Structure 1
Amino acid sequence: MGQVKIYGIREHLIPIRDKVSDVLHACIVDAFKYPENKRIHRFFYLDDEDFFYPQERSNQYTIIEISLFEGRSVESKKYLYQLIFNRFEHELGITANNVEITLTETPLHNWAIRGKSGDELVLDYKVSV
Protein backbone atom coordinates (compact mmCIF):
# COMPACT_ATOMS: atom_id res chain seq x y z
CA MET A 1 0.00 0.00 0.00
CA GLY A 2 1.27 3.45 -0.74
CA GLN A 3 -0.20 6.92 -0.56
CA VAL A 4 1.67 9.85 -2.05
CA LYS A 5 1.38 13.55 -1.26
CA ILE A 6 3.04 16.09 -3.53
CA TYR A 7 3.51 19.70 -2.38
CA GLY A 8 4.64 22.60 -4.50
CA ILE A 9 4.04 26.12 -5.75
CA ARG A 10 0.64 26.27 -7.45
CA GLU A 11 1.78 28.08 -10.63
CA HIS A 12 4.62 25.63 -11.16
CA LEU A 13 2.92 22.37 -10.18
CA ILE A 14 -0.53 22.58 -11.77
CA PRO A 15 0.71 22.70 -15.40
CA ILE A 16 2.86 19.59 -14.91
CA ARG A 17 0.63 17.70 -12.45
CA ASP A 18 -0.23 14.75 -14.71
CA LYS A 19 3.38 14.30 -15.82
CA VAL A 20 4.62 14.49 -12.21
CA SER A 21 2.12 11.80 -11.25
CA ASP A 22 3.13 9.59 -14.19
CA VAL A 23 6.86 9.94 -13.53
CA LEU A 24 6.52 9.43 -9.79
CA HIS A 25 4.29 6.38 -10.17
CA ALA A 26 6.68 4.82 -12.70
CA CYS A 27 9.53 5.28 -10.18
CA ILE A 28 7.54 3.55 -7.42
CA VAL A 29 6.53 0.72 -9.74
CA ASP A 30 10.14 0.19 -10.83
CA ALA A 31 11.76 0.47 -7.39
CA PHE A 32 9.17 -1.39 -5.33
CA LYS A 33 7.74 -3.74 -7.99
CA TYR A 34 4.45 -2.04 -7.21
CA PRO A 35 1.29 -2.79 -9.25
CA GLU A 36 0.56 -0.31 -12.05
CA ASN A 37 -3.09 0.03 -10.99
CA LYS A 38 -2.41 1.15 -7.40
CA ARG A 39 -1.85 4.88 -7.86
CA ILE A 40 -2.95 7.08 -4.94
CA HIS A 41 -1.60 10.61 -5.40
CA ARG A 42 -2.76 13.84 -3.81
CA PHE A 43 -1.46 17.24 -4.84
CA PHE A 44 -1.22 20.15 -2.43
CA TYR A 45 -0.85 23.47 -4.21
CA LEU A 46 0.67 26.32 -2.28
CA ASP A 47 0.73 29.97 -3.14
CA ASP A 48 4.24 31.38 -3.24
CA GLU A 49 3.61 33.51 -0.16
CA ASP A 50 2.44 30.42 1.80
CA PHE A 51 5.45 28.22 1.08
CA PHE A 52 8.71 29.00 2.86
CA TYR A 53 11.56 26.96 1.45
CA PRO A 54 15.37 27.10 1.67
CA GLN A 55 17.02 30.04 -0.05
CA GLU A 56 19.07 27.81 -2.34
CA ARG A 57 15.91 26.25 -3.83
CA SER A 58 13.71 27.65 -6.60
CA ASN A 59 9.96 27.91 -7.13
CA GLN A 60 10.23 24.35 -8.54
CA TYR A 61 10.87 23.07 -5.01
CA THR A 62 8.71 19.97 -4.62
CA ILE A 63 8.13 17.90 -1.49
CA ILE A 64 7.07 14.28 -1.89
CA GLU A 65 5.73 12.33 1.10
CA ILE A 66 5.08 8.63 0.65
CA SER A 67 3.22 6.57 3.27
CA LEU A 68 3.66 2.85 2.80
CA PHE A 69 3.60 -0.53 4.48
CA GLU A 70 6.88 -1.34 6.19
CA GLY A 71 9.07 -3.99 4.65
CA ARG A 72 11.06 -2.47 1.77
CA SER A 73 14.81 -2.88 1.96
CA VAL A 74 17.15 0.07 2.39
CA GLU A 75 18.49 -0.68 -1.10
CA SER A 76 15.05 -0.47 -2.72
CA LYS A 77 14.36 2.84 -0.94
CA LYS A 78 17.66 4.32 -2.09
CA TYR A 79 16.93 3.07 -5.60
CA LEU A 80 13.56 4.86 -5.45
CA TYR A 81 15.24 8.12 -4.41
CA GLN A 82 17.70 7.94 -7.28
CA LEU A 83 14.98 7.14 -9.81
CA ILE A 84 12.94 10.13 -8.64
CA PHE A 85 15.92 12.51 -8.66
CA ASN A 86 17.06 11.37 -12.10
CA ARG A 87 13.66 11.23 -13.78
CA PHE A 88 12.43 14.49 -12.29
CA GLU A 89 15.49 16.21 -13.73
CA HIS A 90 15.44 14.50 -17.15
CA GLU A 91 11.68 14.31 -17.71
CA LEU A 92 10.40 17.34 -15.79
CA GLY A 93 13.38 19.70 -15.64
CA ILE A 94 13.29 19.73 -11.82
CA THR A 95 16.80 19.37 -10.40
CA ALA A 96 17.57 17.08 -7.48
CA ASN A 97 18.26 20.19 -5.40
CA ASN A 98 14.56 21.06 -5.75
CA VAL A 99 13.16 17.68 -4.68
CA GLU A 100 12.70 16.43 -1.13
CA ILE A 101 11.39 12.94 -0.41
CA THR A 102 10.13 11.47 2.85
CA LEU A 103 9.06 7.85 3.30
CA THR A 104 6.90 6.98 6.30
CA GLU A 105 6.59 3.27 6.92
CA THR A 106 3.73 1.86 8.91
CA PRO A 107 3.24 -1.67 10.25
CA LEU A 108 0.54 -3.54 8.35
CA HIS A 109 -1.64 -3.74 11.47
CA ASN A 110 -1.74 0.10 11.60
CA TRP A 111 -3.56 0.34 8.25
CA ALA A 112 -7.16 -0.50 7.54
CA ILE A 113 -8.44 -0.74 3.98
CA ARG A 114 -11.18 -2.61 2.14
CA GLY A 115 -12.83 -3.45 5.48
CA LYS A 116 -9.80 -5.20 6.98
CA SER A 117 -6.68 -4.53 8.95
CA GLY A 118 -3.63 -4.40 6.68
CA ASP A 119 -2.12 -7.52 8.26
CA GLU A 120 -5.28 -9.46 7.32
CA LEU A 121 -5.20 -8.47 3.64
CA VAL A 122 -4.20 -10.73 0.82
CA LEU A 123 -2.07 -8.47 -1.38
CA ASP A 124 -1.41 -9.00 -5.06
CA TYR A 125 2.16 -7.68 -4.69
CA LYS A 126 5.17 -8.19 -2.41
CA VAL A 127 5.99 -5.66 0.26
CA SER A 128 9.46 -6.99 1.03
CA VAL A 129 11.50 -5.96 -1.99
Structure 2
Amino acid sequence: MPLVRIDLRRGKSVSYREEVTRLIYDALTEAGVPEDDRFQIVNEHNADNFYYSPKYLGIERTDDLIIIQITWNEGRSLDQKKALYKCIADRLTNGVGIRSEDVFINLVEVKKENWSFGNGEAQYAK
Protein backbone atom coordinates (compact mmCIF):
# COMPACT_ATOMS: atom_id res chain seq x y z
CA MET A 1 0.00 0.00 0.00
CA PRO A 2 -0.25 2.57 -1.62
CA LEU A 3 -0.82 1.96 -5.30
CA VAL A 4 -0.12 5.10 -7.34
CA ARG A 5 -1.42 5.64 -10.86
CA ILE A 6 0.07 8.56 -12.75
CA ASP A 7 -1.55 9.76 -15.97
CA LEU A 8 -0.11 12.39 -18.29
CA ARG A 9 0.07 13.42 -21.92
CA ARG A 10 2.49 11.48 -24.09
CA GLY A 11 5.77 13.19 -24.91
CA LYS A 12 7.65 13.53 -21.62
CA SER A 13 11.10 11.96 -21.40
CA VAL A 14 11.89 8.81 -19.47
CA SER A 15 13.99 10.85 -17.03
CA TYR A 16 11.04 13.22 -16.42
CA ARG A 17 8.69 10.30 -15.73
CA GLU A 18 11.24 8.64 -13.44
CA GLU A 19 11.71 11.86 -11.49
CA VAL A 20 7.94 12.34 -11.15
CA THR A 21 7.58 8.85 -9.67
CA ARG A 22 10.49 9.44 -7.29
CA LEU A 23 9.13 12.77 -6.09
CA ILE A 24 5.69 11.31 -5.43
CA TYR A 25 7.24 8.36 -3.59
CA ASP A 26 9.35 10.73 -1.47
CA ALA A 27 6.23 12.71 -0.52
CA LEU A 28 4.43 9.50 0.44
CA THR A 29 7.30 8.33 2.66
CA GLU A 30 7.31 11.76 4.30
CA ALA A 31 3.60 11.18 5.00
CA GLY A 32 4.42 7.92 6.78
CA VAL A 33 4.32 5.27 4.04
CA PRO A 34 7.00 2.62 4.80
CA GLU A 35 10.27 2.55 2.87
CA ASP A 36 10.26 0.08 -0.06
CA ASP A 37 6.45 0.29 -0.29
CA ARG A 38 6.63 1.56 -3.86
CA PHE A 39 4.05 0.47 -6.43
CA GLN A 40 3.54 3.01 -9.22
CA ILE A 41 2.12 2.84 -12.73
CA VAL A 42 2.68 5.58 -15.29
CA ASN A 43 0.20 5.85 -18.15
CA GLU A 44 0.86 8.13 -21.09
CA HIS A 45 -2.00 9.28 -23.29
CA ASN A 46 -2.25 10.82 -26.73
CA ALA A 47 -4.02 14.18 -26.82
CA ASP A 48 -7.13 12.55 -28.24
CA ASN A 49 -7.36 10.29 -25.14
CA PHE A 50 -6.63 12.86 -22.42
CA TYR A 51 -9.51 15.17 -21.63
CA TYR A 52 -9.72 17.66 -18.79
CA SER A 53 -11.41 20.91 -17.86
CA PRO A 54 -8.91 23.74 -18.33
CA LYS A 55 -10.72 26.01 -15.84
CA TYR A 56 -12.73 23.90 -13.37
CA LEU A 57 -12.96 25.62 -9.95
CA GLY A 58 -11.09 28.60 -11.41
CA ILE A 59 -7.82 26.65 -11.70
CA GLU A 60 -6.02 27.28 -15.01
CA ARG A 61 -4.74 23.92 -16.30
CA THR A 62 -2.46 23.26 -19.26
CA ASP A 63 -1.52 20.22 -21.33
CA ASP A 64 1.16 19.52 -18.70
CA LEU A 65 -1.60 18.32 -16.37
CA ILE A 66 -0.65 15.26 -14.37
CA ILE A 67 -3.38 13.17 -12.74
CA ILE A 68 -2.28 11.18 -9.70
CA GLN A 69 -4.55 8.58 -8.13
CA ILE A 70 -3.38 7.09 -4.85
CA THR A 71 -5.11 4.04 -3.43
CA TRP A 72 -4.11 3.52 0.19
CA ASN A 73 -5.34 2.41 3.59
CA GLU A 74 -8.08 4.44 5.23
CA GLY A 75 -7.55 6.23 8.50
CA ARG A 76 -5.63 9.43 7.83
CA SER A 77 -6.92 12.80 9.00
CA LEU A 78 -7.97 15.65 6.73
CA ASP A 79 -4.89 17.59 7.80
CA GLN A 80 -2.62 14.67 6.82
CA LYS A 81 -4.28 14.49 3.41
CA LYS A 82 -3.95 18.24 2.84
CA ALA A 83 -0.28 18.07 3.82
CA LEU A 84 0.26 15.24 1.33
CA TYR A 85 -1.43 17.21 -1.51
CA LYS A 86 0.77 20.21 -0.78
CA CYS A 87 3.93 18.14 -0.44
CA ILE A 88 3.37 16.37 -3.78
CA ALA A 89 2.56 19.63 -5.60
CA ASP A 90 5.57 21.42 -4.09
CA ARG A 91 7.95 18.56 -4.87
CA LEU A 92 6.76 18.33 -8.48
CA THR A 93 6.99 22.11 -8.93
CA ASN A 94 10.50 22.28 -7.48
CA GLY A 95 11.72 18.98 -8.95
CA VAL A 96 10.43 18.95 -12.54
CA GLY A 97 8.99 22.43 -12.96
CA ILE A 98 5.35 21.44 -13.21
CA ARG A 99 2.93 24.19 -12.20
CA SER A 100 0.97 23.38 -9.04
CA GLU A 101 -2.20 24.15 -11.01
CA ASP A 102 -1.36 21.14 -13.18
CA VAL A 103 -1.19 18.66 -10.28
CA PHE A 104 -4.51 16.83 -9.85
CA ILE A 105 -4.61 14.29 -6.99
CA ASN A 106 -7.32 11.77 -6.08
CA LEU A 107 -7.13 9.61 -2.96
CA VAL A 108 -8.96 6.29 -2.81
CA GLU A 109 -9.12 4.86 0.71
CA VAL A 110 -9.64 1.15 1.28
CA LYS A 111 -9.69 -1.22 4.23
CA LYS A 112 -6.45 -3.06 4.95
CA GLU A 113 -7.94 -6.46 4.06
CA ASN A 114 -8.38 -5.27 0.45
CA TRP A 115 -4.72 -5.86 -0.40
CA SER A 116 -2.78 -8.89 -1.53
CA PHE A 117 0.92 -8.28 -2.16
CA GLY A 118 1.51 -11.76 -3.54
CA ASN A 119 1.17 -15.47 -2.79
CA GLY A 120 -2.62 -15.17 -2.85
CA GLU A 121 -2.58 -13.90 0.74
CA ALA A 122 -4.16 -10.90 2.44
CA GLN A 123 -1.03 -9.79 4.29
CA TYR A 124 -2.74 -6.95 6.20
CA ALA A 125 -5.91 -8.87 7.15
CA LYS A 126 -6.31 -9.73 10.79
TM > 0.5:
yes
- The percent of aligned pairs where both chains have the same amino acid is 30
- Residue correspondences, number: 119
Please provide the CA RMSD for this pair: 1.5
Show the 5 A alignment for 1:109-124: 109-114=113-118, 115-117=120-122, 118-120=124-126
TM-score w.r.t. the length of structure 2 is 0.86
Are residue 96 (structure 1) and residue 100 (structure 2) matched? yes
**In structure 1, what is the equivalent of residue 109 of structure 2?**
105
**In structure 2, what is the equivalent of residue 43 of structure 1?**
42
Q: Partners of 2:34 and 2:80 in 1: how far apart?
A: 15
Q: Partners of 1:12 and 1:54 in 2: how far apart?
A: 21
The Cα shift of 1:73 comes to 2.0
**In structure 2, what is the equivalent of residue 11 of structure 1?**
11
Q: Partners of 1:73 and 1:105 in 2: how far apart?
A: 12
Structure 2, unpaired ranges of 5+: 55-59
**In structure 1, what is the equivalent of residue 69 of structure 2?**
65
User: What stretches of structure 1 move > 2 A for 4+ residues in a row?
Assistant: 12-15, 109-118
TM-score w.r.t. the length of structure 1 is 0.84
The Cα shift of 1:53 comes to 1.6
Shift in alpha-carbon separation, 1:54–1:13, aligned structure 2, 3 A = farther
The Cα shift of 1:96 comes to 1.3
Structure 1, unpaired ranges of 5+: 121-129
Q: Partners of 2:12 and 2:50 in 1: how far apart?
A: 13
